[in-house]
Amino acid sequence: MTAPAAHARFRFAVIVFPGSNCDVDAHRALGEVLGQDVEYVRHDAGDLDGYDAVILPGGFSYGDALRAGAIAALSPVMAAVERFASAGGPVLGICNGFQILCEAGLLPGALHRNRDLKFRCHDVFVRVEAGRTPFTWGIEPGTVLRMPIAHGEGCYTAPPEVLEELERRGQVVFRYVDAAGRRGGDANPNGSAHDIAGICNEAGNVVGLMPHPERCVERLIGGEDGRRVLGAAVRWLAARRELVTGGR
Amino acid sequence: MDAEAARAAPAARWERVGLTEDEYRRLVDLLGREPNDLELEMVGVMWSEHCSYKSSKVHLRRLPSEGPQVLMGPGENAGVLDLGDGTAVALRCESHNHPSAVEPVQGAATGVGGILRDIFTVGARPIALLDSLRFGPPERERNRYLLGGVVSGIAGYGNPVGVPTVGGEVYFEDCYADNPLVNVMAVGVLPRDRIVRGRAEGVGNPVFVVGARTGRDGIHGASLLASREFDQQAEDLRPEVQVGDPFLEKLLIEACLELTAGDAVVGVNDLGAAGLTSACSETASRAGQGIEIDVARVPRREPGMTPDEVMLSESQERMLIIARAGREDEVRRVFTRWGLEAAEIGRVTGDGMFRVRDGDRVVAELPARILTEQAPVYRRPAAPPADLEERWRLPRLEEPGPGDTAHWTAALERLLGSPNLCSRRWIWQQYDYQVRTNTVVVPGADAAVLRVPGSRKGIALAVDGNGRLAWLDPDRGARLIVAEAARNVACTGARPLGLTNCLNFASPERPETMWAFSAVIDGMAEAARALGTPVTGGNVSFYNETMGRGVYPTPVVGMLGVIDDLEKVVTPGFKAEGDALVLLGAPAAGLAGSEYLKVVHGLVRGRPPLVDLDLERRLIDLLVEAAAAGLLRSAHDLSDGGAAVALAEACFAAEPGAAGAEVALPEAGSAAEVLFGEGPSRVLVSTAPGDLQRLLDLAGRLAVPAAVIGAAGGGRLRIRIGGALAVDAEVQRLHRPWSEAMARWMA
C-alpha cells in the first residue's frame, strides 16, 4: 500500500441525538486534530449522502430511556446509517454509539450494566485483534492501545453461539488486556464476555467499541493512542479512493 | 370559636409560611394591608433564610468582591472572572445539604442540576463540576449509605448532562453524621462581552418559562427544608425533595446557549428555590421594573394545580427568559428545535409591581421589592462558645523519639488508611471527568486543570474547606482555608484569580453560630484581600443542625486560577529518580487540628496557626514563576497529614521508576510535628538536579525559605529527622492501605 495520504481530507458525519455529549469531542478530534471535514448531522436527518464516514458519538441519547441506545436506534437518521453501512461505508459507534448500533441490529449482541453496577471512568488497555476494519486499518494485530472508558453499561453480552461466530469470523476488534497485552486479572473493567471491548459486523465496515478514541488524540489530554484508531479510517478511505481512482 | 382558638388562629397564619410575628407585622406595614394567602406564601418563602440571606447579609458585605478581573460579582446568578484574552469564566458554588440528608441520590443530583443552571443562566457553557462533601464517620452504615447515594446522585446527573466532574474533596467527622454537607461548584466559559444578566429589562418585553413543566414537587423546599434545623420528622420531608432529569437539563443547556448567543434575550434567570416567585421578583427587582404573569399560562404536569402551587413549585430544569418584544417566535423556534416547551406567561411592566393573574383574576399584587430588597435584615446576637479556650488546650503527648522507626512507620500507615487521608479514587472513578476533552489534570491532584475552549489559557480549580480548623478558630480557620485553596491552585503553576464560597453553618439563632460566621467572614476577607482573590459570590447554608447538634462551621472555598501555558502544568507526583526534593515555605508546623491528633490520639484540639499571608503570597508567586520557568518537576501542597503524608502521596502519583524518597526533614519540633504537623505556606517540590540552584536562587529572591531535603526514587520512603530514621517502608506497602481503604468500606 502506498504511504498514508497525510493530507487526505474526507467528510465525516458526527450524528447528534438529543443527549449525545461526546459529539463535540469527536468533532474536535477529527476536525481540529486530524484535519478532516466534519459536520454534525441531526437525529432527524433523512440521508447521509456525500459523507465518507459516519461516527455515532458517546453520551446518553434520550437519557438512556428504556435502555441505553434503545430510542436512538429508532431515530430517522438510523435508517440512513443502515443504508450507508450496507453500501460499505465505514461507521464507528463509540460508547453510546456502540450501544445504539447493537440496539439497531447493525452489530450483534448487547451491552449490559457493568459487573460492579457502577459507572467507571478510567484508562484501559485494549489489544487490537482484527486489522481488517477501517478503524484498525494498518494497525498490527496484537498492538496494545491505551484509551479511556466512561460508561455504566459496557458489559458486552451475546449468546454463546454468537460469541463463537464472532471469534471464528474475526469480528472481535478490540479486547481488554493489561499493559503487557495479557488477558485476565483486572484488565476487563466491566465483565464483558470474552473481554470484548469492540466488535465489527461481518463485512468489517461497521465497528463499535466502548473505549473513547476521540478522548485521547492529544498528548496534553489523555494521550494519543486514539489518533491511531481515527487515523486508520483516514488511511483506509485514502486507500479506497486510490483503488477506485487508480491513483489518479 | 373560643378565646384560645381565636388567639391561635392568626399565629398559625405566619407560622405556616415560616415567618415570625415581627416579620409578619413588617410585611403588613410595607404592604399597608394584610396580605392574602398567596401573597403571604410568596413572602414567606422569599423571606426565608435560604432566599433572603437575612442573617448573613450584614456580614457578607465585608467580603472583598472587586478587582480588575471581576466582570460580575455577587448578586447575580454567578460570578464572572476575566481571563484577560476576551474569554471569561463563570463560577458558583451552592449547597444541597438538607435535600441530600433526606434523599441522598436525588438531593445531590438536583444540587448538580441547580448549580449548572446558575452557570448557563449567565450565558456560560458549563465545563466543569467539583464537589465538597462531608459525612459522618464511615464506620456507621448510615453514613456509608449517604456517601454512596450522594456519589451516585452526582454521577447520575453530571455524567449524562455531559459536564465533567473534575475534582472535589470529602471529609468524615462526627458532627456531619446527621447533617451531611453536599456543596457543588460549577464553572463555565463565555466570551467576556456576552454576559447575560438576570434582569427583567424593558417595559413590554415578554416573559417566558421554558424547559420542564411545573409540578407539585418541592413546594416549601426553600422555607421548610433549607431554612430550619432538622428534627425527628426530617424523614417526612422526603416528598419535598425534587427529582432531577439530566436529559432535560442537557437539552435546556443547548437551547439556552443557542438563544443567548443571539440578541433576542434581555435577561435570564433559573428557577431554583422558590421557583417562579423568586425568579420573577428577583429579575424585576434587579431591573427596577415590575412584572406581570398569568399562572394559567404556565405549562403544568397535572391538572388542578392552584396558583399557590404553581408559584411555589421547585420543579427542576426550568428557566425564566425575558425576551425582546417582537422576538417571541425566535424563542419558541429554538426551544421547539430542542424538543422543549417555551410558554409566554407575562410581560415586564413599569410599575414595580409583581402581579400574578390566574386568567382574568389578579391573585397576588405586591411591590417586587418587598420580596427581595425589603426582606428583613438581621444583625443577630453573636458570642464565642464557652469552651473556646478549652478547645485550644493541647495536652502533653507521651510519644517516642524520632528514632523509633517501627512506631512512626506504623503511624504513617495508619494515617494513610484513615478516612480523611485515603485515596478518593472510589469516588471519582464513578464520575466522567473527561467529557468535552478539556481535562488536562484529572482528579487526585492538588487542583484540576482544564483547557479553556476558545482561549489559549487554562484554568486550575480547587475546593477546600477544613471545618475542623474553623471550629477551633473560625477567623484563623477561614484564612487557612483560603490560603490552602490558593496554594493548591498555584501548585499546578496557575495564578489564583478569584473565588466563590459556600458557607455551611448551624442555626443562626444561636449566638455561637453567628460569632463563628462573623469571624469566618473577617478571616476570609482578610485572606482574599491579601492574596488578590476577590469573592465573586457564593451561598450561605444555615440550620445545618439536628436536635441542637450543629456541624462545624464549614466555609468551603472554590478557587479559580489561570495558567498561561498548559505545556507547563505541574502535577504532584515525582517524575524522575534522583530529582532533588525541596520543601518551600514555612519550615515548621504544629499539631493543632491535625489529622494526626484526630486519628492517633482521638483529639480535635489546639489553636490553628495564624497564616502569614505575606509569606503565602510570596510562596504563590514563587510557584507560578518557577512553573513558568520550567523549574518544577512536581509540586504538592503539605496539608492534611503533614510532610510525611505529602511525601507518600507524591510517591503514589509518581511516574514509573520515580517512586520513593530518601529525605532528611529539618528538626523543627517533635517527631510528630515534623512528620505530621499541619500548617500553611508549605509545598513539597521536586526539580531536576541541574535546575536546583536556579530554583533556590528564585526562592531567595522572593524571600521564601527553601530547604533541600533529599531526592526522589528508590522505591522506599525513608524519612530521617536529625540523623534518626523515623520512617522506612516500601512505597508499595504504604500504598495498599491508602488505595484500598474506601473501596473496602464501600464494598
The radius of gyration of chain A's CA atoms, rounded to the nearest angstrom, is: 17
Put simply, whether B339 touches A (Cβ < 8 Å) is yes
Q: Give the total residue count for chain A.
A: 248
CB atoms A60 and B246 under 8 Å: yes
Taking one residue from A and the other from B, the number of pairs with CB-CB distance under 8 angstroms is: 84
Residues of chain B positioned with their CB less than 8 A from the CB of A60? 159-160, 162, 246-247, 250
H or E segment to which residue B135 belongs:
strand B125-135
How much is the pLDDT for B9?
Answer: 53
CB atoms B246 and A63 under 8 Å: yes
A1 within domain boundaries: no
Among B466, B470, B468, B469, which residue's Cα sits nearest to residue B517?
B470
A2 within domain boundaries: no
A54 within domain boundaries: yes
Nearest to A221 among B159, B160, B437 (CB): B437
Residue that is written with C-alpha cell 502519583 in the block: B653
Residues of chain B positioned with their CB less than 8 A from the CB of A221? 434, 437-440, 451
In terms of DSSP H, where are the helices of B122-168?
141-161
How much is the pLDDT for A2?
Answer: 42
pLDDT of B176-222, one tens digit each? 999 999 999 999 999 999 999 999 999 999 999 999 999 987 776 66
A190 within domain boundaries: yes
**How is residue B506 annotated by DSSP?**
S
- Full set of structural domains in chain B with CATH: 3-49 (no CATH), 196-373 (3.90.650.10), 405-431+570-747 (3.90.650.10)
- Give the residue on B whose Cα is nearest the Cα of A214: B437
pLDDT of A35-65, one tens digit each? 999 999 999 999 999 999 999 999 999 999 9
CB atoms A62 and B247 under 8 Å: yes
- Give the residue on B whose Cα is nearest the Cα of A150: B432
How much is the pLDDT for B217?
Answer: 79
Put simply, whether A152 touches B (Cβ < 8 Å) is yes
A6 within domain boundaries: no
H or E segment to which residue B270 belongs:
strand B265-270
A15 within domain boundaries: yes
- For the residues A177-205, what does the mean pLDDT come to? 97
Give the 3-state secondary structure of residue B462. strand
Nearest to B247 among A19, A120, A218 (CB): A19
Q: Give the total residue count for chain B.
A: 747
Residues of chain A positioned with their CB less than 8 A from the CB of B438? 221
CB atoms A150 and B160 under 8 Å: no
CB atoms A121 and B339 under 8 Å: no
Counting the structural domains of chain A, the total is 1
How much is the pLDDT for B159?
Answer: 97
Bridge partners, residue B292, by sequence: B347, B355
Residues of chain B positioned with their CB less than 8 A from the CB of A22? 162, 435
CB atoms B430 and A121 under 8 Å: yes
Q: Report yes or no: B513 and B54 within 8 Å, Cβ to Cβ.
A: no
CB atoms A150 and B159 under 8 Å: yes
- Give the residue on B whose Cα is nearest the Cα of A61: B247
CB atoms A119 and B159 under 8 Å: yes
Put simply, whether B438 touches A (Cβ < 8 Å) is yes
Determine which one of A22, A43, A95, A216 is catalytic: A95
A215 within domain boundaries: yes
- Has the ipTM of the complex gone over 0.90? yes
- Give the residue on A whose Cα is nearest the Cα of B148: A118
- Model confidence at A248, pLDDT cuts 50, 70, 90, reads low
Nearest to B155 among A29, A65, A119 (CB): A119
pLDDT of A116-160, one tens digit each? 999 999 999 999 999 999 999 999 999 999 999 999 999 999 999
Q: In Å, what is the CA distance from B354 to each residue of B29, B294, B361? A: 17, 11, 14
Residues of chain A positioned with their CB less than 8 A from the CB of B431? 119, 121
Put simply, whether A62 touches B (Cβ < 8 Å) is yes
Nearest to A148 among B246, B338, B434 (CB): B434
* Percent of chain B residues topping a pLDDT of 70: 96
pLDDT along chain B (747 residues), means of 10: 50 86 96 96 95 96 97 95 96 95 94 96 97 97 97 97 98 96 98 95 97 85 66 62 89 97 96 94 97 97 93 94 97 96 98 97 98 97 97 94 98 98 98 97 97 93 98 98 98 98 97 98 98 97 93 98 97 98 96 97 97 98 98 97 98 96 95 97 98 98 98 98 97 98 95
Full DSSP string of B74-115 = BTBSSEEEE-SSSEEEEEEEEE-HHHHHHSHHHHHHHHHHHH
Can you give the CATH number for the domain in which A164 is found? 3.40.50.880
Q: In Å, what is the CA distance from B50 to each residue of B30, B121, B131, B199, B673? A: 21, 20, 20, 21, 42
A23 within domain boundaries: yes
Domain that holds residue A124: 11-245
